[in-house]
Amino acid sequence: MKTVDSFNFSGHKALVRVDFNVPLNEKFEITDDTRIRATIPTITKILNEGGSAILMSHLGRPKDGPVDKYSLRHLVTPLSLIFGRTVKFADDCIGDNAVTMAEALQPGEILLLENLRFYKEEEKGDEEFARKLARLGDVWVNDAFGTAHRAHASTSVVGKFFEDKVAGYVLQAEIDNAQRVLEDSEKPFTAIMGGAKVSDKILIIEKLLDKVDNLIIGGGMSYTFAKARGGTIGKSLLEEDKLDLTLEILEKAKAKNVKVYLPVDTVIAKEFKNDAERQVVRAGQIPDDWEGLDIGPETVELFSGVIETSKTILWNGPMGVFEFPNFAKGTNAIAKAVVAATDKNEAFSLIGGGDSASAINNAGYGDQVSYVSTGGGALLEYMEGKVLPGIAALQD
């Protein structure tokens, strides 16, 4: 797979697939620009070498064509500030206006196309749609790792129409860091798995059982484990059909000498809201009309102790409902422990995108860990050993 380092962009128009699917508030202001800033090195190289950059991305999940709240025009001003130059905007991604603006683009200039997903053809991987995108540039750069696991028109199919196609720095860094964890991990290796569902993590957990020394399980998925072990979990999240599977995971871990750490106490609430009545109880002893929303203080101490003595750390998924400040303490404490291990124990720490990336960035620790992935689902699928269409398209 060729990377941007192997290509001189002088005089070229680079069609760059970026992942600018960033969160916006009600005023359409970006609340986390991590994904945008991650693309700066790739885009800067193109521009500095005398090339021009035509950026294409999706934003949100528009269902029936153009919707203002999902328009990429909301990103034009912040992008212009980030790149220190006026970013031009095409109000379509494949129409005549996009073609005209792309043809007129001069070296050192940036053109942002309108949301790809305003066309259903994008997610369908439509070849004709991909061909129309391809006519805008003469070299394809895929720097959108977060969508590399999707066989969409702009993330994989468009590659058919380019002789010159390269991976951007984001895509390359994601692969390099994932490989470091999978193939070159220093012991002890601790995986921290959180989030809502066991089903979302089962494949990565099974893959990691051959790699890790410690497996920490928190978040909503931990209540399915608690129930499977005979506990009561009240109204907490539960995947009833995964009870046997959780016990199988524990058995497999034991057979492979992997130490599994589950919560020993939990913060429970009467209602699913930040200011709900709450208390701490032993894990597996949640009353019927209560639900678990965070790990408890004893669990924080237990998990942190394991993390801080680790040399390789993979974290994917929060420990609780971190969007509520009153139930973010567990997640923030784990973030702090990962930072401590990275700093004091010189551990390599990979934060697995999605909610984990948001949590560590919201806690202000994003620059104090080894690497924060920009792609949650894509990273998991890559680490599970699946072939990602966005990467395969660069290797054809």
| Best CA proximity match to 146, nearest among 248, 34, 231, 229 | 34
Segment 49-100, tens digit of pLDDT: 999 999 999 999 998 889 999 999 999 999 999 999 999 999 999 999 999 9
180 within some domain? no
Pick the catalytic residue: 13, 35, 165, 329? Answer: 35
pLDDT for position 27: 93
| Sequence-distant (≥ 6) Cβ neighbours of residue 100 within 8 angstroms | none
Q: pTM to 2 decimals? A: 0.90
pLDDT band for 236, please (50, 70, 90 cuts): very high
Pick the catalytic residue: 73, 197, 229, 259? Answer: 197
Mean pLDDT, residues 334-338? 95
End-to-end CA distance of the chain: 9
Same-domain status, 9 and 35: yes
Same-domain status, 310 and 274: yes
58 within some domain? yes
199 within some domain? yes
Pick the catalytic residue: 50, 108, 231, 377? Answer: 377
Same-domain status, 152 and 17: yes
Sheet containing 259-261: which strands, arranged edge to edge?
259-261, 214-217, 189-193, 312-316, 348-351, 371-372
Kind and range of the H or E run holding 295: strand 291-295
Same-domain status, 192 and 162: no
Same-domain status, 301 and 335: yes
Number of H helices, E strands in the chain: 15, 17
62 within some domain? yes
Radius of gyration of the chain (CA): 22
Pick the catalytic residue: 284, 292, 354, 375? Answer: 354
122 within some domain? yes
Rounded Cα distance between 47 and 39, Å, is 12
Same-domain status, 141 and 240: no
Q: Is 84 a catalytic residue?
A: no
pLDDT for position 68: 92
Q: Is 254 a catalytic residue?
A: no
Same-domain status, 288 and 329: yes
Q: Examine residue 188 and say whether the peptide bond preceding it is cis (omega within 30 degrees of 0).
A: yes
Mean pLDDT computed over every residue of the chain: 95
Rounded Cα distance between 191 and 312, Å, is 8
Segment 358-370, tens digit of pLDDT: 888 878 888 899 9
Q: Which DSSP string corresponds to 168-208?
A: -HHHHHHHHHHHHHHHSPPSSEEEEE-SS-HHHHHHHHHHH
pLDDT at residue 354 greater than cutoff 80: no
Q: Is 35 a catalytic residue?
A: yes
| Number of folded domains that form the chain | 2
Residue found by looking up tokens 């484990």 in the block: 225
pLDDT at residue 46 greater than cutoff 80: yes
Domain range for 331 is 187-346
Contact 375, 175 (CB under 8 A): no
CA distances from 384 to 187, 319, 321 (A): 20, 22, 26
pLDDT at residue 129 greater than cutoff 80: yes
CATH code (residue 272): 3.40.50.1260
pLDDT band for 223, please (50, 70, 90 cuts): very high
Same-domain status, 26 and 151: yes
269 within some domain? yes
Same-domain status, 117 and 201: no
pLDDT for position 364: 85
Same-domain status, 47 and 131: yes
182 within some domain? no
Q: Which of 134-148, 172-186, 265-279, 366-380 has the weakest average pLDDT?
A: 366-380
47 within some domain? yes
Q: Is 330 a catalytic residue?
A: no
Q: Which of 38-42, 134-138, 343-347, 392-396 has the weakest average pLDDT?
A: 392-396
Segment 175-219, tens digit of pLDDT: 999 999 999 999 999 999 998 888 888 899 999 999 999 999 999
Same-domain status, 142 and 238: no
pLDDT at residue 299 greater than cutoff 80: yes
CA distances from 200 to 143, 177, 195, 196, 316 (A): 25, 21, 9, 8, 11
Same-domain status, 149 and 35: yes
Q: What percentage of the chain carries pLDDT values higher than 70?
A: 100
